[in-house]
Structure 1
């Protein structure tokens, strides 16, 4: 113990010299040196301290992103999560249009066995995880899910269960479990640490529709909604991560991007308020303009109600426009392009034949105008998709679709890509700006509330950067020394 105290004193003094202000620090033992201390006591004390640290500090949490928006390739963005003890890896689709994280479980009916995405599919088995437990109907987290329609109760075994039906007709059902989620977190600068937290997630034992197909199969869906059952809400309630998350999805062929629980900080971000008391991320879309000219669309078409409104949904590949506005929008695009561009129909979609000597830059700029003066400016590549080649030309089609009989507008990956999007759930607003998502970004855990810890997201998933010079390296070595001594104790 005397040697340990001496090392602590030396390390603290060295750290003060590195910072440029030599100071002698007096360290006192928390336990007297005249008798031994049981390891159980030390572990209990450390455990209490760790809980206090987690409850008082928000961390930035990083998730790796793979996939692309391109329907001819992947057609979705997905990330990797680690669940259970020992940890197992699962690939899950990033979906801001739903709340719950769920993964395929053993004995699943309809779950695909292989994936065309060249990833190894896994099944979660609660019995093989030493930290797993089932969620009963009396659990407060289950009651919260029942209120938001994300859960229900089985009268037979008092088990918390779920049944989800998605917009494409696919579905899943299963039961809820609680287990550890392991993730990369960052706090106080650029130090990457491994952390874990207990979360409730779905164990899928039945899948239907497109979820059963192997071409784009993943292990599950990661819902980033704002209801109580979402991982965002669960980690926020535990004081581990802020109630804000951000993504920047690359639109090129390599795909990938950035996904963090935290606020990406960029000076050009514009914000618009969320429609309150909605299950999804609904926005107040007020008008659409093409080349600066407002389209003659009744604003009531975009009003939010039980069966209409404008939703931001990363789980949708394309984008959809309310049926009453669709024809006006397509006609405005067609009228704005040169007459040399041939207009064609392909499988009911409005398309255009462009010669090799031309490019899509001749197409007009589109602005989706939202409450608060925030406009989502769309370049041609944000609303056009290349279909195929014909002779010496190529066919480009409008990627916006319409759902017959529906008045809902859905902003999917087609328009979300190549932009920073910030979902400030605590502040009830969403912000965005155009951005090259292959570049690093600054992330804050403060959600616009003053104190910011800016980090380079390019470092979140890997080793700590040493670009800040020897002072940073020495500080990190000293921190490693402190941690090593704590482990010895």
Structure 2
């Protein structure tokens, strides 16, 4: 549990045609992180990336990085992006007026014209990544139909960060990965880039398996399932925030003053949905009555104890006696959380146990992370400014809506010129649409 909290403290201080990506990761692992693989460059190379709905930027480690981890403690080989080794890679120059700045704390170094456009992305925990913006091909599988789920390989031109230096927690081998794949709502995200070109719908979905083998589903497009319920996004935010209105245990609403949901430091934002966070964090006015209600029910059958601040129960305690929890959001949408979706199993040699994974929010920001998002289809419908969900077996196939706005369809045979000049021309037409007023390089 402490390992998960440390991961989240680092993570939270940083404050997913349908395109199909494989998903890896262990839902109950001490890492608390789901990853996928993206293919970049020509010839394409694989990069293992963390699926992160709490940030926008896709960045990878450059071959010229002077302080990047060389290996990962997560069981896979780290790769590095080599611009010279990719025939389709190109630099983004400040003279191109393509330096995207002012987004989520990113600070851009703007050298004299004709120099490569650089960035520094800093985090509250003093971790940083800095590097240069590049443009290249991303290769992916395009889902052609809602029922067949057959796909074809295709590619699209995207720009991303190439990290040449990292500091702080990003350098820890125990959790090192090739890159972070930001799925936030901002203009820098790959979702925004590809949807602005009409390549994909302006939506993405994930379904994270919660068993020990992890895995799941990640598609750029909206999963279609009759039981999905939706809640509107809090407008004008850089992350995905929903308005939480009440909490129930076994169907009975908790006695929580409604002001509790509006008295936090981040009340104007709401509760954020973040796949890069492992646990779930609730403000004290919500956390205390929720934990009390769970303990009252379970203590009739098993005696709880406190371990490092967490309510825990012996491993012999049946999961079936734990109650269900419902988070009720604006629009009448309830997120039902089963015991297996909020309990963390600690496999200690001499004293295995079940611990309640809900945590008290230290900074007043309510976050629903992988703990409660696993074993659910989560749909991020950006066109309609809403998020939807339903419990689901993430080992099963899904139906995906491949309809674009204005009743257009994804064209899986979209071809891009391999010339660098052509790619920069495409990007210059795209960026004024999706970057708005963030170009200040001259």
Asked if these proteins are the same fold (TM beyond 0.5), I'd say yes
> Gaps spanning 5+ residues in structure 1: where?
1-58, 454-489
Q: What SS is found at the alignment partner of 2:65?
A: strand
Q: 2:335 aligns with which of 351, 376, 379?
A: 376
Q: Tell which deviates more after alignment, 114-123 or 374-383.
A: 114-123
Q: CA deviation at 1:217?
A: 2.0
When the two structures are aligned, how many residues end up with a matched partner? Answer: 389
Alignment-derived partner of residue 143 in structure 2: 186
Matches within 5 A, 1:23-172: 59-72=17-30, 74-137=31-94, 139=96, 141-143=98-100, 145-146=101-102, 149-150=105-106, 152-155=108-111, 158-166=115-123, 170-172=127-129
TM-score by length of 2: 0.82
> Gaps spanning 5+ residues in structure 2: where?
1-16, 411-442
Whether the 8 Å contact between 1:263 and 1:446 is mirrored in structure 2 is no
Distance 1:173 1:190 in 2: 39
Alignment-derived partner of residue 281 in structure 1: 240
Alignment-derived partner of residue 216 in structure 1: 175
Higher alpha-carbon Rg: 1
Q: What SS is found at the alignment partner of 1:328?
A: helix
TM-aligned CA distance change 1:242 to 1:209, over 3 Å: same
Whether the 8 Å contact between 2:18 and 2:201 is mirrored in structure 1 is yes
Whether the 8 Å contact between 1:153 and 1:159 is mirrored in structure 2 is no
Distance 1:172 1:131 in 2: 24
TM-aligned CA distance change 1:334 to 1:197, over 3 Å: same
Whether the 8 Å contact between 1:60 and 1:261 is mirrored in structure 2 is yes
Q: CA deviation at 1:335?
A: 1.4
Q: What SS is found at the alignment partner of 2:184?
A: coil
2:377 paired with 1:420: yes
TM-aligned CA distance change 1:413 to 1:403, over 3 Å: same
Q: CA deviation at 1:363?
A: 1.0
Instruction: Quote the RMSD (CA, aligned, Å).
Output: 2.4
1:56-107 deviation per Cα after TM superposition (whole angstroms, max 9, x unaligned): xxx21111111122233x4211011111122111110000000010011123
1:288-317 deviation per Cα after TM superposition (whole angstroms, max 9, x unaligned): 111222223233433498734311000111
Distance 2:405 2:283 in 1: 33
Q: What SS is found at the alignment partner of 2:292?
A: helix
Q: What SS is found at the alignment partner of 1:115?
A: coil
Q: 1:256 aligns with which of 215, 220, 227?
A: 215
Alignment-derived partner of residue 481 in structure 1: none
Q: CA deviation at 1:140?
A: 5.5
Q: CA deviation at 1:147?
A: 5.4
Q: What SS is found at the alignment partner of 2:131?
A: strand
Whether the 8 Å contact between 1:67 and 1:76 is mirrored in structure 2 is yes
Q: What SS is found at the alignment partner of 2:304?
A: strand
